[in-house]
Amino acid sequence: MIEVRELTKRYGDRLAVDSVAFTAEKGQILGFLGPNGAGKSTTMRMLTGFLPPSSGQARVAGFDVTTQSDEVRRRIGYLPENPPLYPEMTVRSYLTFVARLKGLRRGQVRGACDDVIARMGLTTVAHRLLSHLSKGFRQRVGLAQALVHDPEVLVLDEPTIGLDPRQIIEIRSLIRGLSGNRTVILSTHILPEVSQICDKVVIINEGRVICEDSRENLTRDASLEEVFLRHITADAAARESAGDAPHDENPGSGVPT
């Protein structure tokens, strides 16, 4: 379903993402895990067609994200770290607007909006302004806009950041229910999120993938926290031994994380 090969992003002489490669199968929830500034968001933006790669290739459902970006976007739902909401719109009017932007026919829009409003638990706030919603409800609306066109692939970038514990539990529960025939990529630095939700784990550090395996294999003899620290520590030691300079993905010049 998703195949990433040697995906690289440079900003001048700064290397933000370095030859990233991984795969995700249909119906799988993949945890894209790494420290802050590791290259997670930049990779997600390239994968969804919002940011052009400097080199390498990514394919979604057989379509290239660079040369066939329109086809890819039809098949992807994307929830960025900061959901693209318009505070002066109501929940329903916003989702109607998004559904039309994503190419749903006039006769499909109402039913699609009804469906995601119900699935995301937004029925009681459907006619409220987005500016009047709590952070948790705004995150639910963000998930709804990513799902309104029923995509094959869902890309979620830090979906629980800034939420309180109850809201985190609710959003994680919603995400668990989104797999099945749909492939989900969950980009996060929160280890319990991956432990509780994901089938497969990709660990990225300083712009490079340093581990890719099923969660079951990785946690057979150790916790995910122990596995994560082991790989990050080993990678840091290997870089120091090789004399690698650290990748500075956010040097204060607007470089995405």
Residue range 137-148, pLDDT digits in tens? 999 999 999 999
Domains observed in the chain:
2-242 (3.40.50.300)
Q: Is 190 exposed, middle or buried (0-12, 13-18, 19+ CB in 10 A)?
A: middle
Out of 9-23, 83-97, 232-246, least confident range: 232-246
Residue range 93-118, pLDDT digits in tens? 999 999 999 999 999 999 999 999 99
pLDDT of residue 256 exceeding 60? no
Q: Quick check: 147 and 118 in contact, CB under 8 A? A: no
pLDDT of residue 253 exceeding 60? no
* Mean pLDDT in residue range 112-137: 96
* Mean pLDDT in residue range 192-198: 91
Q: Is 158 exposed, middle or buried (0-12, 13-18, 19+ CB in 10 A)?
A: buried
Tell me what the pLDDT averaged over the chain comes to.
Answer: 91
pLDDT over 70, % of the chain:
95
- Res. 239 pLDDT band, cuts 50 70 90: confident
pLDDT at 179 (0 to 100): 72
Q: Quick check: 16 and 9 in contact, CB under 8 A? A: yes
Q: Which two tokens stand for residue 219?
A: 């946690």
Residue range 8-57, pLDDT digits in tens? 999 998 999 999 999 999 999 999 999 988 999 999 999 999 899 999 99
